Amino acid sequence: MKKTFDTWKNHPSLDPSLKKAMETMSESDIEDAFYKPLAFGTGGMRGKMGPGTNRINVHTLRKAAYGFAKYVVEHETDAQRRGIVIAYDNREHSDAFAWAAAEVIAAFGMRAFVFEHMRPTPLLSFAVRHQGAAGGIVITASHNPPEYNGFKIYDADGCQLVPNHADKVVRNVEAVEDVFKVPAMDIDEAKAKGLITELGRDIDESYLEQIATVPIQPADKKQLTVVFTPLHGASREIGLRALTEAGYHVVTVEEQMVPDSQFKTVKSPNPEDEAAFELAIKYAREHRADLLIATDPDGDRLGLGVLHEGNYEFLTGNQTGAIFIEHMLESHKQAGTLPDHGIIYNTIVTSDFGAAIARTYGVDVESTLTGFKFIGERMKAIEQTKHTFLMGYEESYGYIIKDFVRDKDAIQAMIYAADIADRLKKQGKTLIDYLHELYAKYGTYREKNVNLTLEGKAGEARIEAIMEHFREWMPTRVAGHNLIVKEDYLRRLRYERGVEHIIDLPASNVIKFAFDDEAWFVLRPSGTEPKLKIYIAAKAPRITEADTTLKALEEAIMAIIDDVPEADQHKEVKR
- With a pLDDT cut of 90, the percent of the chain lying above it is 92
CATH code for the domain defined by 39-204: 3.40.120.10
For residue 574, the model assigns a pLDDT of 42
Residue 570 has pLDDT above 70, yes or no: no
Residue 1 has pLDDT above 80, yes or no: no
Residue 575: pLDDT over 90: no
N-term to C-term CA, the chain? 19
- Going from N- to C-terminal start, the domains of the chain cover 39-204, 224-313, 318-442, 445-563
Tell me what pLDDT residue 222 has. 96
Which CATH entry fits the domain spanning 224-313: 3.40.50.300, 1.10.10.10, 3.30.1490.20, 3.40.120.10? 3.40.120.10
Across the range 414-422, mean pLDDT stands at 98
What is the percent of the chain where pLDDT is above 70? 98
- Pick from 213, 155, 537, 541: which is nearest to 346 by CA? 537
pLDDT of residue 569 exceeding 60, the answer is: no
Average pLDDT, the chain: 95
pLDDT of 42 reads: 52
| pLDDT in the model for residue 224 | 97
- Structural contact between residues 481 and 553, judged by C-beta atoms closer than 8 angstroms: yes
pTM confidence score: 0.94
Q: Which residues contact 428 (CB under 8 A, 6 or more apart)?
A: none
Q: What is the rounded average pLDDT of the residues 228-238?
A: 98
Within 8 A by CB and 6+ apart from 36, the residues are: 53, 54, 457, 573
pLDDT above 70 for 567 = no
Q: What are the DSSP calls for 291-344, one per residue?
A: EEEEE-TTS-BEEEEEEETTEEEEE-HHHHHHHHHHHHHHHHHHHT---TTEEE
Active-site annotation, residues: 142
Average pLDDT, integer, range 308-328: 98
> Each residue of 447-458: b (16+ CB within 10 Å) or e?
bbbbebebebbe
Question: Does the pLDDT value for residue 317 go beyond 80?
Answer: yes
Query: Counting beta carbons within 10 angstroms of the beta carbon of residue 374, is it exposed (0 to 12), middle (13 to 18) or buried (19 or more)?
Result: buried
* Rounded Cα distance, 65 and 96, in Å: 13
What is the spatial distance between Cα 223 and Cα 310, in angstroms, rounded to a whole number? 18
Domains 318-442 and 445-563 agree in fold = no
The DSSP secondary-structure symbol of 250 reads E
Q: Return d(Cα 494, Cα 128) in angstroms, integer.
A: 38
Residue range 480-533, pLDDT digits in tens? 999 999 999 999 999 998 899 999 999 999 999 999 999 999 999 987 788 999
Three-state DSSP at 122 gives helix
The SS3 of residue 378 is helix
Domain 445-563 carries which CATH code? 3.30.310.50
For residue range 72-116, list pLDDT tens digits in order.
999 999 999 999 999 999 999 999 999 999 999 999 999 999 999
Q: Where does 318-442 sit in CATH, by number?
A: 3.40.120.10
